[in-house]
Amino acid sequence: MNKYIAELFGTFWLVLGGCGSAVLAAAFPDVGIGLLGVSLAFGLTVVTMAYAIGHISGCHLNPAVSIGLWAAGRFDAKELAPYIAAQVVGGIVGGGILYAIASGQAGFDVAAGFASNGYGEHSPGQYSLTSALIAEVVMTMMFLLVIIGATDKRAPAGFAPIAIGLCLTLIHLISIPVTNTSVNPARSTGVAVYVGDWALGQLWAFWVAPIVGALLGATLYRVIGRDA
């Protein structure tokens, strides 16, 4: 059970650290960390957890990553369901702790978004569903390409967490204005359940697009990363 518990707490940290930076600190009066800070926070959650639990569970923290690694031949199919369950539960627990903290501020309104992912009128930049799907598919595809490549036995040892964390930071720098950046169904679910309403109504997109992107990324690496 250790690997499932590790995935649960790792995803908990990703949601609390990443979404927490967006909800609590991004627009804090005068000294908010902004989009750059939020992007860095998501990257840091992955780097810190990769070193903390990578040797226990592989530090997937993301159903799309687990599915992509399975598609790349790096992960056993029988582990998919328990890994995804642990990640989703961890995300919801992280969202719950964040809600408990954020709701202690006067004027807090979960309906304002709570770092949920969205498209159309719920996109930070009012981007369409088509734009959101393209962004999430492509960003997740590149994320899996980096993850699989950085953890290849031929890659420099010990640097994978840094490359993966920086990749997630870059992904957020690009796509926060489009969807608030998901590339992770557990992260999306972890806050959407507290917002309800539109966030749950649009949640399907942030399961489908990252999974499609992960499968594409795994397929791409199978082509370009195979031994000569």
pLDDT score of 51 more than 80: yes
Domain, as residue range, for 65 = 3-225
| Side-chain half-sphere exposure of 87, counting CA atoms within 13 A | 24
Query: What is the rounded distance in angstroms from the CA atom of residue 121 to the CA atom of residue 19?
Result: 20
Tokens, residue 96: 């719950």
Residue 179 burial by Cβ neighbours in a 10 Å radius (0-12, 13-18, 19+): buried
- Say which amino acid occupies 64: A
pLDDT digits (tens, 9 = 90+) for 167-225: 999 999 999 999 999 999 999 999 999 999 999 999 999 999 999 999 999 999 999 88
Residues 6+ apart with CB under 8 A from 147: 65, 68, 69, 160, 164, 167, 217
Reading the block at residue 30, the tokens are: 């005068």
Total domains, the chain: 1
Q: What average pLDDT does the segment 102-129 reach?
A: 92
Q: Tokens 């010990």 map to which residue?
A: 158
CATH value at residue 57: 1.20.1080.10
Cα–Cα distance measured from residue 59 to residue 49, given in angstroms and rounded to the nearest whole number: 7
Mean pLDDT, all residues of the chain: 93
Single pTM value for the model: 0.93
Buried/exposed code over 53-91 (b: 16+ C-beta within 10 A; e: otherwise): bbeebbbbbbbbbbbbbbbbebbeeebeeebbebbbbbb
Residue 148 contacts residue 34 (beta carbons within 8 Å): no
Which pLDDT band holds residue 228 (cuts at 50, 70, 90)?
A: very low
